[in-house]
Structure 1
Amino acid sequence: MKRRVPRMNEQESAAWLGLTTVFSLLPAALDRQLQRDSGMTHFEFVVLSRLQLSDGPTMRMTALAEATVSTLPRLSHVCGRLEKRGLITRAPCPEDRRATNVGLTSAGRRELIRSVPGHIATARRLVIDALTPEQLDALAEITGTIAARLAEEPPEGTPAAQPTAVEPRRRT
């Protein structure tokens, strides 16, 4: 039985349903692997990774929230857990006492480094190795296009742009 999304043709439905299925299954698989091997969630891994890749020794919570596509309350909760485990530090920002800086500890850096091989192996097993080089190129192009479109979306809390009529795509 073929499923079809209302107001989408078969091609559009297949692409959309495939993408939403990956959205559901991949994060859960990454979480399972990281929990099993490193005792952390995928989001915790992303937070530690962003801190590792930051330009300085710390990042402001607001910048880290933006980098991890997270809300400040969610990030604050996760940072509380990471701080209790000794993986990060939080301190008031010297330039703006209302802001909080987050830094990766030596223990956090070691834990991140230990978790990377299993995480990369899982990414390879589930995604990279399943695709041909041509499919990887197509995936990179597709995800880049979608990411650029998503980056154009107004930030949460600002009025959304009014929808405009879109010409149907013509087959060539």
Structure 2
Amino acid sequence: MTMNLDESRDEKAAEPRWLRSDELSAWMSMARVLTLLLPALERQLERETDLNWMEYHVLARLSEQEGHTMRMSGLAGLASASLSRLSHVVKRLEGQGLVRRETDPCDGRYTNAALTSEGYGKLVASAPAHVESVRRLVLDPLEPGELQTLGAVFDRIFAAVDEVDPCR
């Protein structure tokens, strides 16, 4: 069978772009961090605060909002969670008295999540231990000047992921 030049180009275009050894090494380093970091942070949160990662993250995002209140759909985006997953998390937090759901006063078609004073207190009490874990596991191992580089690298990776999977 003979192949014309266009078919040959199409076949080459379909070939996988295999990782070079330096790329593979960097990717495997990142994969190890992705695999271990979030579970380590979550274990610390659960052990010391009785919150899981997503619960803490939701409380923290709400604490940053004016009036400690936000539409569930917007909060899902900030928390990188589906609306369904966020609803389950908020239901658990609501059961603990840390968050309440209420109809959006500007548009009754939407539901807001609001951080209660108990929820804010829980977050304030939980934050020091969590921040210490972040420092110990992420920031302390860095050399001077690496923090800005790390932030810029993760921002570019986030943008690439967000571009191909904006609905997460």
TM over 0.5: yes
Alpha-carbon shift at residue 95 of structure 1 (Å): 2.6
The DSSP-based 3-state class of the residue aligned with 1:70 is coil
Match of 2:140, SS?
helix
1:138 Cα offset (Å): 2.1
For 1:7 and 1:137, the matched residues in 2 are separated by: 29
Match of 1:18 in 2: 29
1:83 alignment partner, one of 94, 99, 102: 94
Per-residue deviation, residues 56-104 of structure 1 (Å, max 9, x unmatched) = 3410100000111110110000000000000001012223222111100
Which of the two has greater helix per residue? 2
Quote the residue 1:46 is aligned against: 57
Deviation at 1:154, TM superposition (A): 5.2
**Structure 1: gaps spanning 5 or more residues:** 1-5, 158-172
Question: d(CA) in 1 for partners of 2:167 and 2:134?
Answer: 30
> Residue 127 of structure 1 aligns to a residue in which SS?
helix
Q: Which amino acid aligns with 1:44?
A: E
CA distance in 2, matches of 1:74, 1:20: 24
SS of 1:98's equivalent in the other structure is coil
CA shift in 2, pair 1:37/1:154, >3 Å: closer
Counterpart residue identity of residue 28, structure 1: P
TM-score (norm 1): 0.82
Q: Which residue of 2 aligns with 1:168?
A: none
Give every structure 1 segment of 4 or more consecutive aligned residues whose post-TM-superposition deviation is greater than 6 Å: none
Structure 1 pair 95–107 and aligned structure 2 pair: CA distance change class (3 A): same
Match of 2:3 in 1: none
Pick closer, same or farther for the CA change 1:101–1:120 going to 2, 3 Å.
same
Secondary structure at 1:144 match in 2: helix
RMSD value, Cα: 1.7
Which structure has the bigger radius of gyration? 2
Q: Which amino acid aligns with 1:32?
A: R
* 1:135-158 Cα shifts (integer Å, max 9, x gaps): 22321221122123233335339x
CA distance in 2, matches of 1:50, 1:23: 22
Partner of 2:109: 98
Match of 1:155 among 138, 141, 166: 166
**Which amino acid in structure 2 is aligned with residue 15 of structure 1?**
A
Task: Give the drift of 1:29.
Answer: 0.4
The match for 1:160 is none
> Which of 115, 131, 145 is the matching residue for 1:120?
131
Could you tell me which runs of 5 or more consecutive residues in structure 2 were left unpaired when the two chains were aligned: 1-16
What are the Cα deviations for residues 27-72 of structure 1, in whole angstroms up to 9, with x where unaligned?
Answer: 1001100000000001111100000001334101000001111101
Residue 130 of structure 1 aligns to a residue whose secondary structure is coil
